[in-house]
Chains A and B, each alone.
Chain A
Amino acid sequence: MADAELKQKVEELIAANPVLLFMKGTPEMPRCGFSMRVVQALDAMDVEYGAVDVLPALQPLREVTAEISDWQTFPQLYVNGELLGGADIVEEMFDSGELAEALGVEQPAAAPSPATAAAPAQAPPLQIE
Chain B
Amino acid sequence: MADLGEIEAMIEAALPGAAVEVVDETGGGDHLRATVTAAQFEGLSRIDQHRLVKAAVKARFDDGAIHALSVKTAVPGS
Contact = CB atoms under 8 A, between A and B. Distances in A.
Interface in B29-78: 46-47, 50-51, 70-72
B47 A92 contact: no
Contacts of A89: 46-47, 50
A92 B70 CA distance: 12
A92 B46 contact: yes
Contacts of A71: 47, 51
Contact of B51 (A70, A88, A92): A70
Contacts of A70: 51
A44 interface: no
Contacts of B71: 88
A84 interface: yes
A128 to B, nearest CB: 37
Contacts of A93: 46
Contacts of B51: 70-71
Interface string A78-101: 000001110011001100000000
Interface in A35-81: 70-71
Interface of A: 70-71, 83-85, 88-89, 92-93
19 contacts: A70-B51, A71-B47, A71-B51, A83-B47, A84-B46, A84-B47, A85-B46, A85-B47, A85-B50, A88-B50, A88-B70, A88-B71, A88-B72, A89-B46, A89-B47, A89-B50, A92-B46, A92-B72, A93-B46
